[in-house]
Amino acid sequence: MTKKTEKKPLFPHSEFPFRLEFKDNNDKITCWFSNMHYLEKHMERLSLNKRNVKIDVREDARESKPTKSNRKTRKKN
């Protein structure tokens, strides 16, 4: 009897084009992010270095330029 395993897509969520994969003890952890800033922030928080992780970026995210936020910053007095 052979067991067929379905291959999962790298990007199952259309809103999250950045993918981070790493090992924690013996577990394989996969996370998706909306932009590279959040991915890097997550890596910093968990003290991961770029040599021990796998980062994938969906093709359409590579082509698009980041947009500026509409968020206004408060002026310092």
| 44-54 tens-digit pLDDT | 999 998 888 99
Which residues are CB-contacts of 61 (< 8 A; sequence separation ≥ 6)?
A: 17, 18
Position 14 scores a pLDDT of 83
Domain boundaries, the chain: 18-57
Position 77 scores a pLDDT of 63
57 within 8 A of 16, measured Cβ to Cβ: no
Q: What is the mean pLDDT of each run of 10 residues along the chain (77 residues)?
A: 71 88 91 92 92 90 59 67
Mean confidence (pLDDT) of the chain? 82
